Structure 1
Amino acid sequence: MSTPWHGAAELALVLDPTSDDAAAELERGIALLREVAVGSRPPTLRLYRPSPTVAFGQRDARLPGFGEACAVSTKHGFVPLVRRAGGRAAAYHRGCLVVDHLEPAADPVAGTRARFAAFGEFFAGVLTDIGLDAHVGEVPGEYCPGEFTVHGRVDGVPAVKLVGTAQRVVAGAWLFSSVLVVEDSAPLRAVLTDVYAALGLEWRPTTAGAAQDLAGGVTVDAVEDALLAAYAATLRLAPASRRS
């Protein structure tokens, strides 16, 4: 399996507990990025299971239907937020696993595209190892479309978006954030259907699924275990710290 990092031989593992503060969950990644950039934190791997959130892109916030989209998100029980990185609206909840990988870099911009490709292959490999037919590439009509989406195939055809990725860089460090959609896809599909209608954006709701839809026994716990095993096979993970 290819490795998505080039510098760190060790990552400090951080396992955040579940919370009900979607904004704080999102901002914590940026706070960690700043710490890594100034050298007060080592290269870090942060995992958490997010509270229900619709993360809008900057372009979404400028559309006439943005206010309505926020209202329907809230009606579905998802907190609407505008993220600093990424494309169009994406939804996630506690049936998902968010993976934030942070490393220092003298020129964090230089490797941006290479990181998208390498992390995509890495996550596709993790999901393949637990029984999915996972590959890298955009799914036609997907929400928050991206060249390096990790998707699941049905009868050999790209069908379901399984991992969405985004990056943020600051002077001295980069953050690569990935959302692995594992369980309970119905609420995600429902909120995205109404959000995209409000924004006036076309998409195919069938692309909003989860790993569990394609391999019935897959759980967030199983994906987390497989992910950590894949990381541990290539570098050292320092003992996990847990926030209380």
Structure 2
Amino acid sequence: MRVLRGRAATVEADRGRTGAMLARTGATGEPAVRVWTPHRQVAFGRRDAAESGYDRARAVARERGFEPIERRVGGRAVAHTGSTLAFARAVPVADARAGLADRYEATADRVRRALSAVGVETAAGEPPASFCPGSHSLRAGGKVVGIAQRVRTDAALVAGCVVVADREELASVLAPVYDALGQPFDPGSVGSVAAAGGPSDPEQVRTAVERELIDGDATVRRRAV
């Protein structure tokens, strides 16, 4: 198991690091995990890019101090405030058509256990009009975790975000972004680990999530890079 820590110097370099992690897993068959706090950004999905208000949504994000980017994994826009965690688990696959649901379920279970370990109990699902709506989310009052998946012929990347704190700031940037995109969004649907009674320290949550994503198994060979 290869474990990557920290973030690269720029948004683009940071995205490249996760892409390289996935490619390496496909080439070598060695799973890899990365849990980190990305730079401040609003990450738009491909469907967002097709909306007539996309350019305005990007401008709105930039005006509020968030770098707009377009990502390959996931649906609608997600914001990272600086305390928001991102996680990614790369695993080799023999058949790109198999295992999708199992990977989603396993990742959700591991993140759920990690949050329970820091004092936050979550349930599957999300409130109506949540950010980046999808079938693989966890809620604790509001939406706390979103999960997406990218599958190649040789490897799959199960990735997502955990809102640790700053739920008000996250909601305040996503509200005008979703308005520009013409998509429903309820600022009150945003939850956070801190609002649910857990820690507001991203590092404490990061450690718990990383531990669960590498199975918490002391026999697994871990190489941190």
* TM-score, normalised relative to structure 2: 0.92
Question: What is the SS of the residue equivalent to 2:194?
Answer: helix
**In structure 1, distance between residues paired with 2:182 and 2:221:** 44
Deviation sequence 1:155-214 (CA, Å, 0-9, x none): xxxx31111111111121111112111122222111101101111111211112321112
How do 1:1-244 residues align onto structure 2 when only pairs under 5 Å count?
11-17=1-7, 19=9, 21-39=10-28, 42-152=30-140, 159-215=141-197, 217-230=199-212, 231-234=214-217, 236-241=220-225
- Check the 8 A contact 1:186/1:209 in 2, yes or no: no
Instruction: State, as a whole percentage, how many aligned pairs show the same letter.
Output: 31
- Check the 8 A contact 2:193/2:199 in 1, yes or no: no
Deviation sequence 1:63-85 (CA, Å, 0-9, x none): 11101000000011111111112
**In structure 1, distance between residues paired with 2:67 and 2:8:** 15
| Alpha-carbon shift at residue 232 of structure 1 (Å) | 4.9
Structure 2's unaligned 5+ residue stretches are none
Structure 1's unaligned 5+ residue stretches are 1-10, 153-158
Closer/same/farther in 2, CA of residues 46 and 229 from structure 1, 3 Å limit = closer
Deviant stretches of 4+, over 2 Å:
16-19, 227-235
| Alpha-carbon shift at residue 27 of structure 1 (Å) | 2.8
Closer/same/farther in 2, CA of residues 192 and 99 from structure 1, 3 Å limit = same
* Residue identity in the other structure for 1:66: Y
**In structure 2, distance between residues paired with 1:151 and 1:92:** 17
| Alpha-carbon shift at residue 129 of structure 1 (Å) | 2.1
RMSD over aligned CA atoms reads 1.8
Deviation sequence 1:98-146 (CA, Å, 0-9, x none): 1111111111331112211221122112112211121111322211111
Moved more, 210-219 or 136-145: 210-219
Structure with the bigger percentage of strand: 1
Moved more, 122-131 or 192-201: 122-131
